[in-house]
A and B are shown apart, each in its own frame.
Chain A
Amino acid sequence: SQQGEEDPQALSIQEGENATMNCSYKTSINNLQWYRQNSGRGLVHLILIRSNEREKHSGRLRVTLDTSKKSSSLLITASRAADTASYFCATARNTGGFKTIFGAGTRLFVKA
Chain B
Amino acid sequence: DVKVTQSSRYLVKRTGEKVFLECVQDMDHENMFWYRQDPGLGLRLIYFSYDVKMKEKGDIPEGYSVSREKKERFSLILESASTNQTSMYLCASSLNGGETQYFGPGTRLLVL
Tell me the A residues contacting B by CB distance below 8 Å. 2, 30-31, 33, 35, 40-45, 48, 88, 90, 92-94, 97-105
Q: Knowing A102-B43, A104-B41, say if A45 contacts B106 (CB, 8 Å).
A: no
Query: Would B98 and A41 count as touching, CB distance under 8 A?
Result: no
Which secondary structure dominates where chain A touches chain B?
strand
Is the Cβ of B108 less than 8 Å from the Cβ of A40?
yes
Which residues of chain B from 44 to 59 have a CB within 8 Å of any chain A CB? 45, 50, 56
Residues of A within 8 A of B106 (CB): 40-42
Q: For residue A94, which residues in chain B have a CB less than 8 angstroms away from its CB?
A: 97-98
Residues of B within 8 A of A41 (CB): 105-106
Query: Hey, which chain A residues are within 8 Å of B45, CB to CB?
Result: 101
Say yes or no for B84: interface residue by CB 8 A criterion.
no
Give the size of the chain B interface in residues (CB under 8 angstroms): 24
B residues contacting A by CB (< 8 A) are 4, 35, 40-43, 45, 50, 56, 88, 90, 92, 96-106, 108
Decide: B42 and A104 in contact? CB cutoff 8 A: yes
Residues A45 and B102 in contact, CB atoms below 8 Å apart: yes
Interface pairs A-B: 10 shortest CB-CB: A98-B98, A98-B97, A42-B103, A92-B98, A104-B42, A102-B43, A43-B103, A45-B100, A42-B105, A42-B106
Residue of A nearest to B102 (CB): A45
Question: Whole-angstrom distance between the alpha carbons of A104 and B43 in the complex?
Answer: 7
Q: What residues of B have a CB within 8 angstroms of the CB of A93 in the complex?
A: 98
User: Least Cβ distance of A32 to chain B in Å?
Assistant: 11
Residues of A within 8 A of B41 (CB): 104
B56 CB, nearest partner CB in chain A, Å: 8
CB distance from A10 to the nearest CB of B (A): 11
Q: Write out the residue numbers on chain A whose beta carbons fall within 8 Å of the beta carbon of B102.
A: 45
Other than A40-B106, A43-B90, A90-B101, give 16 A-B pairs with Cβ distance below 8 A.
Answer: A40-B88, A41-B106, A42-B103, A42-B104, A42-B106, A43-B92, A43-B101, A45-B102, A88-B43, A92-B99, A93-B98, A97-B50, A98-B96, A98-B98, A100-B101, A103-B42
Contact A33 B100 (CB under 8 A): yes
